[in-house]
Amino acid sequence: MLEIDNLLFRYPGQSAETDGWCFKVSIQEGECVALTGPSGCGKSTLLNLVAGFLAPAGGDIRWKGQSLGPLPPWKRPVTTVFQEQNLFDHLTVAENIGLGLHPGLRLSKAQWSRIEGALEDVNLGGFGIRRAESLSGGQRQRVAIVRALLRPQPVLLLDEPMTGLDDENRTILQGQLRQARDQGKTLVLVSHDIRDRQALADREVTDFYHAW
C-alpha cells in the first residue's frame, strides 16, 4: 500500500498566511487512483513529493509500511511520467529508454530486444535508432511512457501522460498502462482528460488534500 499520511507542503517564499496543502490518501497495491480537483489544488505537487523532487514540511510517505522520507528520488520505488517527457535529445530513442534500466546503459542483448519490442507495441517500431530530437511531441510522450513501463519500480506516477497523443495512440497507451496495473503496478494518475480517468482509474479521489 502507498500511504500519504498528513503530508504538509508550502512553497518557499509563501508567507505563513498563505495556505499550503495537507495531503492524505491511501492507495492499494495494484490499484490505479486518479487525483481530481481544481487547478492549483496540489495534484502535481503531490506527485513530486512522492517522487522525492520536493521535500515536505511534515507528515510521511510510506510504501508497504516503509517510510520513503529518508530516500533520495533515485532510491524510491517510483517512476514518474511528466508531460514534459524529459528525454535526452542527443541520445537515441533506445538509449533514452535504456537509461531507465541501467544508468550506464550496460544492458544485455535481451534487454535491447525488449526495448525494440516495447516500441513496436506503441507504433514506434524501428524508431530505436533515431535521436530523440527528431521526434514529435506525441512520439516523445510514447517513448517516455515505454521507458517508465519497462522500469521495475512498482509505483508509477502519471502527470498528464497522454499529452500530444492522437486517439489511436491514446487507446494503445491506455491499454499498456492497464496491463501494467493488472500485472501489479500501482498507478497514481493526474489527468484533466476524462477519457484517461475512465479508461485507467479504479476510483477517483477528490478529498486527498485540504488547506494548511
Q: Domains in the chain, please, with CATH?
A: 2-211 (3.40.50.300)
**Average pLDDT value for the chain:** 91
Tell me the C-alpha distance between 208 and 117, whole Å.
Answer: 38
Task: Note whether 10 and 212 are within 8 A (CB).
Answer: yes
pLDDT value at 15 more than 70: no
Res. 100 pLDDT band, cuts 50 70 90 = confident
Tell me the C-alpha distance between 203 and 33, whole Å.
Answer: 5
* Whole-structure pTM value: 0.88
C-alpha cell at 188: 497514481
C-alpha angle with apex 84: 190 to 54, nearest 5 degrees?
65
Q: Tell me the average pLDDT across 166-182.
A: 93
Q: Tell me the average pLDDT across 37-46.
A: 90
How much is the pLDDT for 144? 92
The dihedral sign for the CA sequence 174, 179, 182, 187? negative
Task: Note whether 68 and 50 are within 8 A (CB).
Answer: yes
Task: Note whether 9 and 57 are within 8 A (CB).
Answer: yes
How much is the pLDDT for 76? 95
How much is the pLDDT for 86? 82
Task: Note whether 78 and 48 are within 8 A (CB).
Answer: no
Q: Tell me the average pLDDT across 164-190.
A: 93
Task: Note whether 68 and 1 are within 8 A (CB).
Answer: no
Tell me the C-alpha distance between 190 and 192, whole Å.
Answer: 7
pLDDT value at 115 more than 60: yes
